Amino acid sequence: MLVIANWKMNMSGKEIGAYLDRLGREDRWARWASSGFRLVLCPPFVYLEALRSECRKRALPFDVMAQNMSSWEKGAYTGEVSVNMLTDLGVDGVLLGHSERRRYFGETDQTVAQKVLLALSRNLVPVVCFGENEEDRRGGSSSRVWDAQVRPVWEVVMKARQAGYASPVYWAYEPVWAIGTGKTAPLVEIREVGGYLRDNFGVSCASGLLYGGSVTDESVSVLQDGALHGFLVGSAFLDPRCVIRTFDQLCAGS
């Protein structure tokens, strides 16, 4: 199970130090990791390298992933960070297609698919976010939205597999109406998403389904379900105590 902390555009170098200090006072990380519960930290780009080396130095068994990357390989794209730059840093994977990227930075389903192909071609693990907004849900068009977002990515995943790129792909179902709102999707709807992925793209695809949207140490035990392989957590995981309480809950329930 992957439990991902998406810090978004939060934290300073000093705060990251204090965060790791707090996590480091917990002595069950190695045990949790060996039972299959992995914490993944996603800091802003500028902290990726320092965070990775700090985790190693402190013997904290955490993975480090980026929150985004460019859809271009290289060139005159001011301000962008390429896939090769991420592999250079040795990051474990990358979040792609987060709804905030789609909403504020105009990312389309096609751009997300391009990024996924690039990530797979460099053996980076993509965590592909998708999900409907409130209006889609009310209008009964959720599955149409999932399909528009997932299908183009699925096509490039197939292409990458044919070319021999075997990195796992995780699908993060993140309904937009649940992100940062305190409302979590009901388990029955999350299972429906698992069913949708299984029916349309085969079991292997659903073997990497994560849920994100207002997950906290309190909601996580209700959400823990056989259909899910992990969680993507935003605001709650800015507090390291909440990370520890969440692992406590998850590992007790396993």
| Residue 234 binding ligand PGA, by CB under 6 A | yes
| Residue 223 binding ligand PGA, by CB under 6 A | no
Question: Applying CB under 6 A, which of residues 41, 113, 179, 190 lies at the interface with ligand PGA?
Answer: 179
Residue of 98, 100, 107, 132 marked catalytic = 98
Contact region with ligand PGA (CB under 6 A), list: 50-58, 78-86, 137-145, 226-234? 226-234
To the nearest 10°, the Cα dihedral for 105, 106, 109, 114?
Answer: -60
| C-beta of 13 vs 180, nearer to ligand PGA | 180
- Residue 98 known to be catalytic: yes
**Rounded Cα–Cα distance for residues 6 and 56 (Å):** 20
Question: Applying CB under 6 A, which of residues 214, 219, 246, 249 lies at the interface with ligand PGA?
Answer: 214
- Residue 107 known to be catalytic: no
| Residue 93 binding ligand PGA, by CB under 6 A | no
| Residue 230 binding ligand PGA, by CB under 6 A | no
| Residue 131 binding ligand PGA, by CB under 6 A | no
| Whole-number Cα distances in Å, 194 to 118, 141, 172, 220 | 25, 17, 11, 17
Contact region with ligand PGA (CB under 6 A), list: 25-33, 55-63, 155-163, 227-235? 227-235
| C-beta of 214 vs 249, nearer to ligand PGA | 214
Q: What are the catalytic residues?
A: 98, 174
> Which residues in this chain contact ligand PGA in the complex, by CB under 6 A?
6, 174, 179-180, 212-215, 232-236
